[in-house]
Amino acid sequence: MNNMKQFQQMFLAQLKLTLREKQAWFWGIFFPVILMVIFMVIFSGESNEDFQAQVAVVNENQNETSDMLLSQISQMELLDIKEGTFNREDAEELVEEQEVDAAIVLPASMEETSLSLIINKENEQGATTQALSGILDKLIQQANLSAAGATQTYQLQFESVTSGTNELDYTDFLLTGMIALAIAQGGLFGMVDLVEMRRKGLIKRLRMTPAKMSIFGLSDMAMRFIFSIIQIVLLSLIGVFIFGANLYINFFSLIVVFLFGALSFNALGYFISSFSKTTEAYMGVANIVSFLMMFLSGVFFPIETMPEWIQPVSHVLPLTYFAQGLRDSMVYSTSLASSTLWIGIGIIFLWGAIAYLIGSWLYKTKSIVATR
Amino acid sequence: MTVLEVKQLKKSFGAIRAVDDISFSVKAGEVFTIIGPNGAGKTTTLEMIEGLVPPDQGEIKFGELNWDKHADQIKMKIGVQPQSSAMFDLLTPEENLNLFSTFYTSARPTEEILELINLTEHRNNHVKKLSGGQRQRLAIGLAMISDPEIIFLDEPTTGLDPQARRNIWDIILQLKALGKTTILTTHYMEEAEKLSDRVCIVDQGKIVTLDTPASLIEQLTQEREVHLSFIDGAEAAEQAELFMTKLESVTRTERNQASLKIWTTKPEDTLYELFKFTKENNYHVEQVSIHEMSLEDVFIAFTGKEWRD
């Protein structure tokens, strides 16, 4: 009864402290949002649109061959053909001034068999050029085949496979990665309060009262959970409504992954606080840990894109599994029955449990709680 | 009635003996002051009594209660203002008091405490915006929130300006009027003399002496210093000095123009003789004062050291 009242008051105090701490809002809310927006704008903005190249077609002397090729080219959706008729000089000028991506010069007579592609030297290595030459190559091959009277024997079929119901867009990948990072950092950096309270003698002061420290810790964790939920909701809303991320959430899995992840990263923060005598020392360690994990845990880019020798490190870090767990539960709607999800949660839990145990042991043996 | 009894308390930090065999007992309703220079062991003694630091040796009893068996009961009975005056800086005084009041089974109304520590005006400012004196008053308020029987104040006035110090003295005197037992440490002699019923002087972890301020001073010496100055100038002072030296109780005199200092073992008799003399000779005395001995003199006499604030 009295415990409940104590919890309420302590939680209320924690809520006010968090609301009034500007730093918490900046690093916990504003910073992850900005970071996510920047990454999404840089890496996912343009590339999602369909490929299309604008070309000018030079057909100076109309003949059967050129008409046949022109009709085939016009049917290709990937090519946007500039209106009007051009001679070779006009076309070259357009390419030079980059008004079109390329110019295609059709055969000048029925007998001529070559087709030329004029591109700007600057763009020689560009993706558009590569694609265009590929397209024309294919066109010519088909023309050659039909000229030889042969039919195509082999065909390439392109299919993509994912384990989920839909494809993983980079937006979805980054969104879930950022949520994982924000929650992880909340835990890693958040426990600096403990160092600060110890330094100011506030922990000692509370120990002089009959206040139950376990209730105090519980109210602190409750506040941290609420803060993390705000992070998840806010980042998801921005991801979905501004950048068009697709989420298929399995709420039960999400809650379990979230609880284990948030607790474990808070435990890591607690561990760091157990041997840091000053705020600066704490922040130094937390920064190193957070930086390492940020880039090695597949938050921004898939782990598979990293050098092979570094990948084993990624497969040890808790953030890897937390980000993966959030992806599974928020994008693939994976149920808890999935063994990958369970193994990931297990590894996260192991990290948290070990960090907490060593942290408590250090608190007891070095008894820095009691030091002034 | 004894509310606190401390017996043969000892505590060492490495090679340093912070507290070396301290024993005393405190009666209900008194203001008990532990005084001594920095590093004398005052805070360590207090922290052992408050249950924060376990003593190496010795016994601490709050009536029938002790820390081993009755920690929670003792915490309910005592209020502590630690030297660091730690509180939640981003909360207001009112919020701090409200939060602390939930720790105890019974508490005084926040309103009443704010009134007592004179912070009603600042109840809604964040603590980090308060002045040093205001913070210190709030720290005392937090110690009083549970209406404790025994209040520990660890150097409540250190680092404060004279006005702020006086405010805190008022609070301590109000506590005394309420019948609370106060255990105070300070390194201001003046404060100990003004506020305490009994003073315990400690130095190098040991009790040098323990008694009421008045009897400590009395023990010191019977000799008093009397200062006089004459309207009629140096000549009158010289005549008076000549007369004074003939008196048996006067041990020493010192004259500077029209002002005269005399040391006497019987100040009442000496003054009677003095005024008889001035009346007869029609001299006029402008100022008379008897210089009182202070605890500072007691400290010097007991430890042989200069007093340093």
Query: Percentage of chain B with pLDDT > 70?
Result: 98
Cα dist. A74→A78, A332, B265 in Å?
Answer: 9, 40, 127
Superfamily the domain A53-148 falls into: abc type-2 transporter like domain (3.40.1710.10)
Q: How confident is the model at residue A48 (pLDDT cuts 50, 70, 90)?
A: very low
SS3 content of chain B, % helix, strand, coil (to 5): 40, 30, 30
Residue A372 has pLDDT above 50, yes or no: no
DSSP A309: G
Residue B268: per-residue pLDDT: 82
Residue B198 has pLDDT above 80, yes or no: yes
Residue A165: per-residue pLDDT: 44
Q: Judge if ipTM > 0.85.
A: no
Verify whether the Cβ–Cβ distance A209 to B104 is below 8 Å.
Answer: yes
Closest Cα in chain B to A7: B102
CATH 3.40.1710.10 domain extents, chain A:
53-148
Closest Cα in chain A to B71: A210
Residue A190: per-residue pLDDT: 87
DSSP A45: T
pLDDT per residue as tens digits for the range A18-31: 888 888 888 888 88
Verify whether the Cβ–Cβ distance A16 to B91 is below 8 Å.
Answer: yes
Mean pLDDT to the nearest integer, B275-294: 83
pLDDT per residue as tens digits for the range B103-131: 998 889 999 999 888 899 999 999 999 99
pLDDT per residue as tens digits for the range A242-262: 888 888 888 999 999 999 999
Residue A318 has pLDDT above 90, yes or no: yes
Of A39-53, A274-288, B83-97, B273-287, the range with the lowest mean pLDDT is A39-53
Any A CB within 8 A of B76 CB: yes
Does residue A340 contact residue A328 with C-beta atoms inside 8 Å?
yes
Residue B36: per-residue pLDDT: 83
Any A CB within 8 A of B104 CB: yes
Measured CA to CA, the distance from residue A155 to residue A148 in angstroms comes to 18
As to burial, measured by CB atoms within 10 angstroms (0-12 exposed, 13-18 middle, 19+ buried), residue A274 is buried
Beta bridge partners of A103: A56, A118
Q: What Rg value do the Cα atoms of chain B yield, rounded?
A: 24
Measured CA to CA, the distance from residue B298 to residue B307 in angstroms comes to 10
Long-range contacts of A132-135 (CB under 8 A, 24+ apart): A132/A53, A132/A55, A132/A101, A132/A102, A135/A76, A135/A78, A135/A79
Measured CA to CA, the distance from residue B162 to residue B158 in angstroms comes to 10
pTM for this prediction: 0.71
Give the three-state DSSP class for B266.
coil
Measured CA to CA, the distance from residue B211 to residue B217 in angstroms comes to 10
Using an 8 Å CB-CB cutoff, list chain A residues near B150: none
Of A9, A20, A208, the CB nearest to B80: A208
Mean pLDDT to the nearest integer, B141-159: 90
Verify whether the Cβ–Cβ distance A202 to B99 is below 8 Å.
Answer: no
Any A CB within 8 A of B156 CB: no
Residue A236: per-residue pLDDT: 92
As to burial, measured by CB atoms within 10 angstroms (0-12 exposed, 13-18 middle, 19+ buried), residue A68 is middle
Any B CB within 8 A of A9 CB: yes
Verify whether the Cβ–Cβ distance A21 to B90 is below 8 Å.
Answer: yes
Using an 8 Å CB-CB cutoff, list chain A residues near B91: 13, 16-17
Any B CB within 8 A of A10 CB: yes
Closest Cα in chain B to A216: B103
Residue B280 has pLDDT above 90, yes or no: no
Query: Percentage of chain A with pLDDT > 70?
Result: 91
As to burial, measured by CB atoms within 10 angstroms (0-12 exposed, 13-18 middle, 19+ buried), residue B223 is middle
Measured CA to CA, the distance from residue B180 to residue B150 in angstroms comes to 6
A with B: how many residue pairs have Cβ under 8 Å apart?
Answer: 61
Residue A166 has pLDDT above 70, yes or no: no
Closest Cα in chain A to B47: A208
Residue B307: per-residue pLDDT: 63
